[in-house]
Amino acid sequence: MDIAFIGMGIMGKPMAVNLRKAGHTVFVHGRRAVSMVQPVEAGCAGCTTIAEAAAQAEIIIVMVSDTPDVEQVLFGDAGVAQGAKPGSVVVDMSTISPTATRAFAEKLQARGIDMLDAPVSGGDVGAINATLSIMVGGKPEVFERVKPVFEAMGKNIVRVGDIGAGQVAKACNQIVVAVTIEGVAEALTFARKNGVDPARVRDALMGGFAGSRILEVHGKRMLDNDYTPGFKTKLHQKDINIVMQTAKELGLALPGAALVMQHLNALMGTGNGELDSAAVMKIVERESGMER
Ligand code: NAP
């Protein structure tokens, strides 16, 4: 297929390269020309503007940072809406607001362009190895059309529901991850304050009901006091902000997520936005005077 790929960041670059490897024709656009060098070396065609890439494609993938960025890419000057042909499909794989997603889809539909939201989980490793989990919202027939494209980038590909449902699933993912990080941080701090080795506690918990990927991966980062990312605090804060904004729109109480939001805010405020979000542990420790 002819595919446009907008956003050459940590995730976008390897995803575009994997599409090329699968035999698709890929037109890439990165805001900074230097970000297109590697994908172009891998056989993708570099485009100066977003509209230029979109005009040549039947499927237009967007992988940028936040809700306002997706809006700018879609509807800004020389953006997707100015280039895309009626009958093409926009696939937004960024993690953004489900409410804004539905509004974007409506505006595109008025121009004869379909949209899927398809945020991912699995990190840069999943993007490089084409093993991402992809959570999709949109019409079933549009999903079927794009499915072979998803299969070149991911493994667990689920159409969750109508437009916005992929972003809702991703928000659910981020609630579980954030609240579990908080629980693991509190448990390991509780162990240490009791004079019990938190590493041994983690070993003991791994096989039981408290066992999880978060206890395994993030728990290890906490024990090592090494918060090399991973998934950066600033991105986790963005995602929990999406959760809290949506909860506000719906009149929904999410006290667990709200509490972790405060700890992510405190991490950002202490200059730790680039650390892995397992660094929530630092705030938990600081609150009880247990800094290491
Ligand atoms: P990233 O490395 O910061 O890349 C974002 C890319 O988007 C950058 O190349 C940036 O351009 C471009 N961009 C941002 N705003 C733009 C705009 N207004 N117009 C044009 N281009 C714009 O981020 P990432 O890690 O690839 O993440 C992308 C998305 O995937 C985010 O929504 C993130 O939450 C989600 N995600 C990330 C991970 C992960 O582990 N990293 C995992 C799952 C989901 P510049 O290079 O010029 O800044």
Return the beta strands (E) in the chain as ranges: 2-6, 25-29, 45-46, 59-62, 89-92, 114-117, 120-121, 132-137, 154-161
Catalytic entry in 13, 170, 232, 282: 170
The class that CATH gives domain 2-161 is alpha beta
Q: Would you list the DSSP string of 262-286?
A: HHHHHHHHTT-TTSBGGGHHHHHHH
Residues of the chain with pLDDT under 50: none
Instruction: Give the helix ranges, DSSP H, for 110-232.
Output: 123-129, 140-151, 165-193, 198-206, 213, 219-224
CA 52/CA 84 separation, integer angstroms: 9
Could you give the maximum distance between any two Cα atoms of the chain, in Å?
Answer: 65
Q: pTM higher than 0.85, yes or no?
A: yes
β-pair partners for 232: 276
- In this predicted structure, what is the pLDDT of residue 124? 87
- In this predicted structure, what is the pLDDT of residue 285? 98
| Best mutation site among 18, 31, 101, 232 for ligand 1 pocket (most ligand atoms within 8 Å of CB) | 31
Tell the residue nearest (CA) to atom 38 of ligand 1: 123
Give the Å distance between the CA of 69 and the centre of ligand 1.
9
CATH node for 168-287: 1.10.1040.10
Give the Å distance between the CA of 215 and the centre of ligand 1.
27
- Indicate if 193 belongs to the active site: no
Q: Where are the domains of the chain?
A: 2-161, 168-287
- In this predicted structure, what is the pLDDT of residue 123? 87
- Closest C-alpha to 57, from 141, 129, 149, 125: 149
- In this predicted structure, what is the pLDDT of residue 202? 98
CA 122/CA 252 separation, integer angstroms: 28
Tell the residue nearest (CA) to atom 23 of ligand 1: 9
Those residues whose C-beta lies under 8 Å from the C-beta of residue 151, and which sit 6 or more positions away, are 22, 157
CB–CB of 123/45 below 8 Å?
no
Tell the residue nearest (CA) to atom 13 of ligand 1: 64
Give the Å distance between the CA of 197 and the centre of ligand 1.
39
Ligand 1 pocket (Cβ < 6 Å) reads 7-12, 30-32, 35, 63-65, 69, 72-73, 94-95, 120-121, 123-124, 231, 235
- Find how far residue 75's CA is from the centre of its chain: 21
Cis peptide before 230 (omega within 30 of 0): yes
- In this predicted structure, what is the pLDDT of residue 114? 98
